[in-house]
Chain A
Amino acid sequence: MFSELIARFQRARERATPQVRRPFYIGVAVALGLGLLVLLGLLNTEYFFAAPDAFGDMATSQAIWGLKPSNLMMVLPLGAFLVVLARSFVGVSAFGLFTPMLITLAFLQVGPIMGPIVLSSAILVGMLAAPLLLKLRMTRVGFLGVLISVVVLVLAALQTFLGRELQVDAFPVVVVALVVERWGRLWEKDGPWVAAKTAFNTFFLAIVIQFVMVSHFALLLIEASPLLMPACMAVAIGILGRYRGLRLSEIGRFAPIWLERRRIAREGEEKILTRADTDEEFIAAWEKAPPLEGMWVINSREDLDPKGRRQVPQALPNSEAQFAPRSGASKRPMKHNAWIIRSPEDV
């Protein structure tokens, strides 16, 4: 199984031109860097299955990761950077512009595992309710309002069911309602598959951002100076925001174009090569061709000698043909010719 996979990778590597390989290597480097940060974040996580009320008065983010509630704001630029990276460099499509980052805020408030569970259940119930609500022919504002109520309802139900406080802010609730609404629209427009993919992307991105936000790297930057993180990220986003090249996903998307280009280029090369390589064949084909009539035939040096000149007899014009009647040139019957009447139809 693995050998097949490796062989496929090798084939893909052989097919790839240097122009494709370079962005691929950059992509791998970015992925490795992100993976490292996520790993740091994972290592920094003490309790995975902790609910917010387990820590008493202490905020969840501080108890689990040592991230003070006042510092929740400070990690936002890092989240923004990752969202920009995902959108304009990788080309991941997610709901909304900074929605993944806002969902991450809710994760940080609830917990690394509990957050995704709570929010995804709220979103799932909202998604189930959305088609029913669409049938009521409500206005868009009304639709959103009902969705917010539904999300809060689910969160409240979860609180009573779990017997715990979830400590979700008002902000993520609105974000969740917006996600549900976009999901409904995308489902209507592009079908369930695309909608599910986008929802998965959003959630995945949110989880990655969560672990990068709580990694030692981010916490160190925040602890060192409150100015360091926003300043660094502003510069980094500024540089990244000017990126005008192809997104990583677009290299795959437009593969047919460059594959076609390369195919044409290769075929052109091969044609020239066969001519240059098989020179003898080329000459043989030329000798086989009928000699030009009525001209001196010069195949070799000897033919240039006046005595050795060969002339192919000139083809005379067909003498009979020039006197033949040019019937068919006009539709009218020829002069000095009779109508031929053999049957009633001819009349």
Chain B
Amino acid sequence: MFMSLKRKWTGKKVDAQAIPVPTNPIDEILGINLRNSLIAKYNPRVAIERARDKVAAKVALEAAGISCTRTIAVIEDYGTLMRYKPSKEFPDAWAIKPARGSQGDGILLAVRREGDVWYKGSGTPLTEEDVINHLRKVVDGHFSGDAEPQDAALIEPLIVADPGLANLVPEGLPDLRVICLHDQPLMGMVRLPTNQSDGKANLHQGAIGAGVSLETGRITNALQKGKPITHHPDTGSRLVGFEIPKWDEVLYMASKCGPAVGLGYSGADIVLDENDGPLVLEVNAHPGIEIQNINLLGLKAQMHHAGEDFR
């Protein structure tokens, strides 16, 4: 702590390569304090705002030539909402997302349609009124953290997962998370929904986090709620050793995401679509550090290899 202060004041530069890679396992781990300081160092405020707003992030990603999910509509205010008729404009399967939502809050999915009624994955019917109500909640900023009084609702067609990955899970969309420093991928994982997580790829709710080796694209280690597992508890398919399809493409895509949005330290959420291949869902400016436990690797050590000097 004092050494770093001293260096700052004396202005002495240390060669990044001269700092030895830590061999002490505690030093390999990236704590939340260090993560926050890295974010303060590499992620400018503007870029964080851009990444948080899914609509703005999508524009930036598309401009960089990275394929994202298609957009059906963006509803930004009550006026548009009042004129909007879901029964006319929605396809059979869609997803409503709050543009500034976090951790999957406020995401509504419909998988099929009968007349003017859609059905969720769980079979719950959604009438047009339910949909409008949800849209109103989203536009009202109900899912968008503390600072936002208003939000935009983003409507997208539902992504159909790549059969290779879809066969692993009972329902829901598995998504891949790759953490990058600038354009170097550091660590990757795949989040697999379970029945316990209700089809959501949210680790807190009981989804499986499986660490993926960057070199081989194979799952090395899988955790569900902190307990190591080797097979999916619902489908029984073997996870450890499973090779993620199109992993090279995913890595290439993830390495371009951070720079495209303007983030130095980023976590790209990528899904594998049945037809379109890898698509970027969103780019996180504050990627979580639980991925270290899932991969049984320390992010700090990976950053050392990538040439980060932590000053």
Contacts and interface: CB of A to CB of B under 8 A. Distances in A.
A169 interface: no
Q: Is the interface of A mostly helix, strand, loop or mixed?
A: helix
Contacts of A17: 25-26
Contact of A246 (B5, B29, B142): B29
Given A137-B137, A253-B293, A256-B296, A242 B1 contact: yes
B237 interface: no
A190 B103 CA distance: 11
A139 B140 contact: yes
A17 B31 CA distance: 18
A223 interface: no
Interface in A258-303: 258, 260-262
A257 B226 CA distance: 12
Contacts of A256: 293, 296
A257 B297 contact: yes
Interface stretch (B32-40, B110-118, B176-184, B260-268): B32-40
Contacts of B296: 256-257, 260
A247 B32 contact: yes
B29 A250 contact: yes
Contacts of A239: 1
A256 B293 CA distance: 7
A308 to B, nearest CB: 50
A2 to B, nearest CB: 29
B141 interface: yes
Contact of A244 (B37, B103, B140, B204): B37
Interface in B271-310: 292-293, 296-298, 310
Contacts of B297: 257
A260 B29 CA distance: 13
B20 interface: no
B8 to A, nearest CB: 10
Contact of B31 (A140, A141, A247, A260): A247
B149 interface: yes
A228 interface: no
A19 B33 contact: no
B103 A189 contact: yes
Contacts of B298: 254, 257
Contacts of A261: 25, 28
A245 interface: yes
A20 interface: yes
A251 interface: yes
B143 to A, nearest CB: 10
Contact of A257 (B1, B28, B149): B28
Contacts of B140: 139-140
B173 to A, nearest CB: 20
Interface in B45-96: none
Interface string B2-16: 001100000000000
Contacts of B27: 19
B216 interface: no
Nearest to A247: B31
Interface string A3-37: 00000000000000101100000000000000000
B17 interface: no
Contacts of A258: 25-26, 29
Nearest to B145: A185
B104 to A, nearest CB: 10
A245 B4 CA distance: 13
A17 B292 CA distance: 20
15 contacts: A19-B26, A91-B32, A139-B140, A140-B142, A189-B103, A190-B204, A244-B33, A244-B37, A245-B33, A245-B34, A246-B26, A247-B31, A253-B293, A257-B296, A261-B25
Interface of A: 17, 19-20, 88, 91, 137, 139-141, 189-190, 239, 242-247, 250-251, 253-254, 256-258, 260-262
Q: Which 10 A-B pairs have the closest CB atoms?
A: A258-B25, A246-B31, A261-B25, A19-B26, A244-B34, A254-B29, A260-B296, A250-B31, A244-B33, A19-B24
Given A17-B26, A254-B292, 11 more contacts: A19-B26, A91-B32, A140-B149, A189-B105, A243-B1, A245-B33, A245-B34, A250-B29, A256-B296, A257-B25, A261-B25
